[in-house]
Amino acid sequence: MTSHIRGKLISMLSLPLILAGLVSIAPAANADDSTQTLPNVAGTDEYAKPIEQPEFQSVPSKYKKDIPVQILGINDLHGGLSTTGDVGIGQKTYKGAGTAARLATYLDQAQEQFKEVANSNNTFRVEAGDMVGAAPANSSLLAHESTMHALKEMRFQIGTLGNHEFDRGLPEFNRILNGNPPTAQTNANQLVKDYPHYSTDMQLVVANVVRQDNGQIPFGYKPYTIKTIKAGNEKAKIGFIGVDTSTLPSLTLYDNYKDYKVLDEAQTIAKYDTILNKKGVKAVVVLAHTGVATSPQGQTTGPVVDILNKLNSIDPDNHVGLYVAGHSHQYANAKIGNTHVVQAVYTGKAYDDVWSYVSPKSGKFVTVAPHVYPVLSQQDDPTTSPNPNVAAVVKDADDRVGPQVNQVIGKAAKPETITGRLHNNKTMENAAGELVVDGQLYEANKHNVPADFAMTNTGGVRADLEVNSNGDITWGSATAVQPFGNILQVVKMTGKQIEQALNQQYDQNQQYYLQIAGLKYTYTDSGDSNQPFKVVSMTKDDGTKISPDGTYNVVINDFLHGGGDDFTAFKDTPIQGSIGTDTDTFVQYIKDMTAAGTPVQAPQLNRKVYQGH
Same domain, 377 and 448: no
Q: Which residues pair with 352 in a beta bridge?
A: 73, 372
pLDDT of residue 556: 97
Quick one: average pLDDT of 441-449?
Answer: 94
* E-only strand ranges, 458-504: 472-474, 487-494
434: pLDDT strictly greater than 70: yes
27: pLDDT strictly greater than 50: no
**How far apart (Å, rounded) are the C-alpha atoms in residues 337 and 312?**
8
Residue 516: partners with Cβ closer than 8 Å, 6 or more residues away:
434, 437, 453, 454, 455, 502, 607, 608
- Count CB-CB contacts under 10 A for residue 258: 11
**Which residue did the predictor score with more confidence, 23 or 94?**
94
188 CB-side CA count, 13 A: 21
Any idea which of 59-63, 190-194, 575-579 has the lowest mean pLDDT?
575-579
Same domain, 430 and 575: yes
Same domain, 223 and 276: yes
Same domain, 371 and 443: no
Same domain, 204 and 285: yes
Q: What is the pLDDT of residues 51-79, one digit of tens each?
A: 999 999 999 999 999 999 999 999 999 99
What proportion of the chain, given as a percentage, has pLDDT over 70? 94
Same domain, 193 and 290: yes
- Within a domain: residue 429? yes
Quick one: average pLDDT of 416-425?
Answer: 94
- Within a domain: residue 564? yes
Q: In the structure, what pLDDT confidence band is assigned to residue 409 with cuts at 50, 70 and 90?
A: very high
pLDDT of residue 25: 37
Nearest to 344 by CA among 366, 313, 323: 323
**How far apart (Å, rounded) are the C-alpha atoms in residues 56 and 303?**
30
Contact yes or no for 24/513 (Cβ under 8 A): no
pLDDT of residue 136: 87
pTM summary value: 0.85
**Domain limits at 577?**
411-610
Q: Which residues pair with 243 in a beta bridge?
A: 288
Can you give the CATH number for the domain in which 429 is found? 3.90.780.10
pLDDT of residue 147: 98
Q: In the structure, what pLDDT confidence band is assigned to residue 35 with cuts at 50, 70 and 90?
A: low
Quick one: average pLDDT of 344-351?
Answer: 96
Same domain, 232 and 207: yes
pLDDT of residue 34: 55
pLDDT of residue 186: 75
**How far apart (Å, rounded) are the C-alpha atoms in residues 492 and 450?**
11
Domain count along the chain: 2
Same domain, 177 and 290: yes
Residue 93: partners with Cβ closer than 8 Å, 6 or more residues away:
86, 87
Same domain, 26 and 159: yes
pLDDT of residue 572: 85
Q: What is the pLDDT of residues 129-156, one digit of tens each?
A: 999 988 889 999 999 999 999 999 999 9
Any idea which of 11-15, 84-88, 537-541 has the lowest mean pLDDT?
11-15
Question: Domain boundary residue among 336, 361, 395?
Answer: 395
- Within a domain: residue 1? no
- Within a domain: residue 233? yes
Between the two ends of the chain, the Cα-to-Cα distance in Å is 36
- Within a domain: residue 507? yes
Contact yes or no for 94/377 (Cβ under 8 A): yes
pLDDT of residue 121: 98
Quick one: average pLDDT of 92-102?
Answer: 97
Can you give the CATH number for the domain in which 163 is found? 3.60.21.10
**How far apart (Å, rounded) are the C-alpha atoms in residues 290 and 302?**
9
Same domain, 367 and 433: no
Buried b (16+ CB within 10 A) or exposed e, 393-432: bbebbbebbeeebeeebbbbeeeebbbbbbbbeeebbbbb
Same domain, 184 and 272: yes
Question: Domain boundary residue among 364, 395, 426?
Answer: 395
Same domain, 436 and 390: no
